[in-house]
Structure 1
Amino acid sequence: MALFTVFPTRRNSFGLKFFVLFAVFIAGISLSFTLLFFHYQRAALEENMTGEGLLLARLLAYNVRLGVFTENSELLKDPIGGILQHEGVLFVTVVSAEGTLLREEAHPSVLKTPERGFPHWSTRFGQVRKTSAPQVFQGSDTYEFWAPVVSTAQFTSTESLYLAAPSHETTRITGFVRIILDKEPLRIKLKALLLKSITLASVFLVLGTVFTYVIVRRITRPLNRLTEGLKKLERGETFEPVLVESKDEVGRLASAFNHLVETLQAREAEKEFLAEELRHAQKMEAVGTLAGGVAHDFNNILTAIVGFGTLLQRSLKNDNPYRIYVDQILIASDRATTLVKRLLAFGRKQVINPRPTNLNDIIKSIEKLLARLISEDIEFRISLADEPLICQVDTGQIDQILINLVTNARDAMPGGGSLTIATRSEYLDEDFFGPVEKGMPGRYGIISIADSGIGMDEETRARIFDPFFTTKEVGKGTGLGLSMAYGIIKQHEGFVTVETSPGEGTTFHVYFPLIQAAAAPETTEFVQVGRGNRETILVAEDDKAVRKLAKHILERSGYEVIEAVDGTEAVKRFREYAGKIDMVLLDVVMPKQNGQAAYEEMKLTKPDLKALYISGYTQDIINRKGVLEEGFNFIAKPVNPYELLAKVQEVLSQ
C-alpha cells in the first residue's frame, strides 16, 4: 500500500520505473555478489582441504620411516592411529617400495558402514611409484592422498615439514603412505557457506530495496509538488513555493524551481515595464519624426521671413519709425528658428559638425558663461579628469547640453546650494546597457552635472525628456531644454542616466564614446561678403517665396540668376544656358527630380560645375533618401541673406 501512495499513477510513474529498474539492478548485484563470493569461498575451502590432506600424508610418511624400513607393522600402529583421529580421515594404508602391504586401517565409522567401499591401494600404486612427489586424487565422495616414505628425512626440521621445504640430501624411497579423506565435512561447510551467502544477498537486497524506496520517495514527493505547481501556473492560479525539506540535490531542485517561478514572475513584471519603456521610446521617436517632417515647410517659411525681413531692416534707417516693427519680426523669427532647432535636436534631426574634441576643453571654454548663468548663492565647482577625453562631438551642441542642464540645476536650487561639473572615463561592458536601449561596449567619456536641489520623484524622472513636459510655472519654461539635450546626446551616439530622489538633489551622467584621435584645433574662418562679378547662378527651388528671395539677394549682389521650379526644369534650363552658368543653387528635395539627380545630369555636360545645396530637410533624412553624399557644399534653411552670399562666394572661389 505504501508503494501506491508514492506511485499513484503506477503505469506511467517515473518513480515506479526508477524503483523497479533500481531494484532489478540491486538484485542483479546481489546475485552476482553471492555467486562470486560462493565461488571464491568454495575454492578456498577445497584448497584448504587438499592442503590439509597433503600435510597429513607428509606427516604420516615422516613418522613411519622406521617401521617401513624395518617392515615392522607394530611400529606403524601409533602413527596410523594418530592420523585416523583427524576429522574426515577414513582410511590409511602403508605400502613398501616393492608393493608389499605393511599395514592398512580404517576409521571406526567406516567399519559401521561396510557397504561403503574404497579403491584398492594397488589401483594407484603403479602411477604413484613413478614420482617422488605427493599426489592427490579426487573421487566423487573422497580425496585420496599419496606421499613417499624415504630412508632419509626429506625435511630437516618439523617447521620445514609444515612449510614443505625438502632438504637437498640424497634420499631413497622405501615405501608409500595413502590417506583417504571424506568430502562430507567439505559439503557441510559448503552448505553453510551457501546459506551464509544467500543470507547476505537477501539482507543486501532488502536494504537496497528499502534504500531505493526512500530515495524514490524523496525524489517523487517534491516532483509531484513541482508538477502541481506547474499545473497551477498553467491555470493562472496563485503559486505557493514548494517546501524545501533538505539541502541535497532534490532540495536544490525545489529551491531552483521556486527561484525559477520568482524569476518568471519578475520577468513578467519587467516585461510589462519594458513594454511601457518601448512605448515611451516609440512615442519619443514619433515626435522626433514629426519634428523632422514639418521642418521642411517651417524652414521654407522662416527663410522667406528672415530673408525679406533682413533686407527690409537693412534698407531702413535707424530713425525710421517702421524699423522697430521689422526688428520685432526678426526677433520673433529668430525665436521660431530656435524652437524648430530644438525640436530637431530632440528628434535627432539636427545637422551637426562633429570633430575630435577634448570634453575637458569644452567645459573650460564655457566655464565663465556657465558661472554667469547661476546665482551667487550657488557654489559652483568643476572637477576635470587628468586624462584627455577625446570624443567625436559638435562643440556647439555640447555647449547647448551644458547650458540646459546647468540652467535646470539652477532652477532646482531656488534657495542656493552647490553645483558640480565633473568628468571621468569608464569602460562599459554589455551588462551595463539595458534591454531597450543598447550601446556599444567600450570606453566612454562621462560628464556629470550634480546639484543639491529639490530632486525629483520617480514619476517626474520618467518624463523629464518628454517634449513640452515641464514642472516650471507657465511662461518660465518650454519643456524643450532636456528634450533637446537628450536628442543631441543620442545624435552623438551617447546616452544619459539620471540619479535623483526628492530632497536629495539630482545628478545627470552624460556618456560619449571615446575615440583614439587627437583633438582637432579650433579654427574660425571669416568670410568677407563681397559683390559678384556678373557670374550666372541657376537657382532650382520648388518654394516660390524662397526662390524669389534667393533671386533677389543674388541679383542685388551682382549675380545673374536663372530660375527653375523643380529638378527636371533645372536640367532643361541648364542645357539651354550650359556655357553661361557658373554655379547651381539646388534645393535637395524637389518634385519630379531631386537636386542630386539633377546635378548628376548637369555634370555630364559640364564636369567641373560648382554646386551648392540648400534644404529645410535635416541631414539624416537627406542621407536616408540617398540624395546627398557627405562632403558636398550644403547650407541649411532658414538662412540669413548674408550667410547665403558668403556661402555662394565660398563655393565660387573653390
Structure 2
Amino acid sequence: MFSIRYKAWALVVVTVAVLTTVAVWFSSQSISTSFLVLEKARAEQDGERARRMLQQNLANLSASGRDYAFWVDTVRFATGKNPSFLKDNFPSETMQSLRLSGVLVYDAKGVLVGGTSLTAEATLVKPSPEEEQVAHALIGSVLSDPHSETLIETYRQIDGTLYLLSVAPVREQLAVGTPPKGAQVVFRRFGAFEHERFAQVMLNPVDFSFDTGQVRWVDLELRVLGDSRAEARAGVMDHQNQPVAHLVVSLDRLLHQKGQSLIWATAVQVALAGLVMGALLVLLLDRLLLRRLKRMHQQLIAIGEQGAQTGVPIEESGHDELSDLGRGLNEVLVLSRQMVMQRENHAVQEAEQVKLAQTEKAEALHRFVGGIAHDFNNALAGISGWTRLAMEDLDKTHPAYESLQHALKGSRHASNLIRQLQAYNRKAAPVLQWLSLGDLIQPSFSLLDPSQARRCELQVVSLNGHAWVKADPTQMQQVLTNLLANAADAMNGTGKITVTVDHVDLPAPSGVLMVAEAAVLPAGRYVLLSVGDEGPGIAPGNLHRIFDPFFTTKSVGRGTGLGLSVSQGILSRHGGVIGVVSQPGQGTTFHVYLPACLEPGELAVPLPASDALVCGGRLLFVDDDHLVRTAWSALLERAGWDVTQAVDGEAAWAMFQQGDQRWDVVLTDLAMPRLDGVELARRIRSTSGAPPIVLMSGNVGAEEGARLVRGDFAAVLHKPVDPEALNKVLAEVLTKATSL
C-alpha cells in the first residue's frame, strides 16, 4: 500500500505532465494556426494575381483583335471584296507573334466569311466546328448594336481547353457610331505553351479545372493536399459572370514545414521547463504539507480505534486549510445527517428527470408517427385508387379480379395499422359506426399470440343483450386486444379471463361502486365492459403510473409500456374512460365506459335516401401527389363528376383568378408546396359565389378536422377513403349548397 506521500508526489508529476502536454498542445495549435493564416494569405494573393494575369492576357488579346477589326481590309473582307485577307494578314508567323490561336470573320448577317486556326505544329487549318459554334453564339449582341460599341471579352471551355475570346465589330477606324459591317472573333487557346509561360511568371505550376458544376469550392480558398503541397483556386467567370473554370495554382508548403520545426523546438523547451517546475513543486509540497498530513492521519487512526467521543481530538492549531479540516472533521456527525437529506432530495430530482425524459421521448415519437402516417396514407390512397380502377375495368370472373380484391384488402389492413399508430399519436380521427362491443371480444382474443394465451380460458358474460356503441371498430379492437394481452401476461398464459358487458346509468346510485375515472363523465347511459384476470394484481405503488407512456413492469422484449396509454387515448376520443381495480393476490379488473347508443334499427331519424342527393357536377380536384390525383380523378369521373385537376394550391388559385371556368365543388389536399389547402380555402371563400370546399388529407386528427369544418371546409375526409364514401360526401355537400 502506497502512502499518501508517494501518491502526492505522483499526483504532482502527473499534473505537471498534463499541464506541460496541454501547454505544448496549445502552443502547437497557435503556431500551426498562425502559419496556416500566412499560407491562406499567400494562397489568396497568388490566386488573385493569377486571375489578374489571365484577365490581362484577355485584355491584350482583345486589343490586338480590335486593331484588326477596324482595318479597311477587314471591312472589305467582311463585305466579300478581299478574299485573300486572312492569308495576307494572318500567316502562321503573325499568329505566333501575336499569340493568336484563331481568327473568324462574319458578315453583318452573322454568316461566317472565313476563318483560320493555328495548330500546335504551327500550321494553319480551318477552325473546328466547336470553335465556330462558340464564336457564332457570341456575335449576336455585337452585330445587333447599331453604334458598333459592343465589345465582348470572355472565356469558354472547348474539349477540356480554356479559350480566351474577343469579339469586336468590324468597321472603319473613323466610322464611329455606324452599324457594324460584320464581326471579328479572335481567340487564344490556353495550351501547354501558355501554361508554361503562365507558370514562369507565377513561379508556381498553374492548371485549369472545369468541374465548376460538380465541385463546390470557395473562391481563393487554400486546399491542403499533403505536408508538402497545397493549391488555391480562383474562379474564371465569363462576360455574363457565369463560372467557366477554376484557375488552380499549385503551392509549396515551406511555411508549414517551418512551422512544424518551430513546434518541435517549442515542445522541447516547454517540457524542460515543466520538468524543473515539477521537481520544485514536489520539494515544497513535502516540506509544507505532506508532513502535517501524516500527523493528522495518525490522529484519525487513534479516533477510529478509541471512538469519536473518547479518542484524541484532531489538532486544530494554525490558521490554514489543514486547521479548518481538523475543525470540520470534529463536526462530521452533523454533516452526515445533512448528507442523508441531500441524497433524498437528489433521488426526487432523479425521478423528475426520468419522468421528463419519458415525456420528451413520447413527444419525439408523436412527431415521428405523424410524419410517416401522412406519407403512408398518401401512398395507400394512390394504391387503393388504382386498384379500384383496375377492378372496375375487369369482369368479376377474370382471374386477376380476386387478386385485386386481396390487394385492396391488404391496403385496408395497412390503413388500419396507420390508424393504430395515429391513435397513439393523438391524431387519428375515429371512423365511427354502430357496433356491438360483445361481437369484438372473441375476434380480439383470437389475435393474441398463441404462446401468450396458450392455456387461458375466455369467459364472456353479457348481462343486458347487445351493447351498442358508436365507435371505430379498429380502435375498439385495439383496446380489447391490449386489455386481453395484459390479462394473459399477468397470469403467465394460464388462467381464466372474464369479460363482462353491461349497461350502467351515471351518475351511479349511492352504494354502487364505480372507478374514480367515471366521475368525470356526463350523466347518461353507458356500456360498461370489464376485463378481469386471476393474476397476482398490481402493486399499490404502481397503480397511479400504469397509464403513463412507456411504463411497464414486464421484462425486456415483452412490453413497450404503450398499450394502456394508447387505450386511454382512444377511449377519451370516443367520449369514454378507463379505470382499474386491483388488490395484491386478488387479480386485476379494468373497467371501460362508453356512451351507449340505440340499435341501428331503432334510430329515430332515418338516413337520407341516396336518390335525394345531387350526384355529379363540376369538380376541381387539388392534390400534389400525381398517383392520388390521377387515380381518384378517374374514379370520380366514372361516378359522373366533371373533374378538373390542379397540381397544387397555387395552380388551383391561378385557375380561379382566370375566371374562365366555375366549379360546383372543390376537393383539396391539406399539405402541399407553395400554397396549402387551408390558405387555398380562405382565398376561394373570399371570392363571390365561392363553391363548397372538401378537405381530404392523410394526417388530420379528429379535433383538427372538427375545427376545419367549423371554419373554411364543408367536410373533412381522412385518406385513404372508400370511393362510395367520398362520392356520398361530395354529393351531400353539393346538395346542401344547391338547396341554399
TM-score w.r.t. the length of structure 1 is 0.46
> Which has the larger Rg?
1
Larger RCO, structures 1/2 (Cα 8 Å, 6+ apart): 1
TM-score w.r.t. the length of structure 2 is 0.42
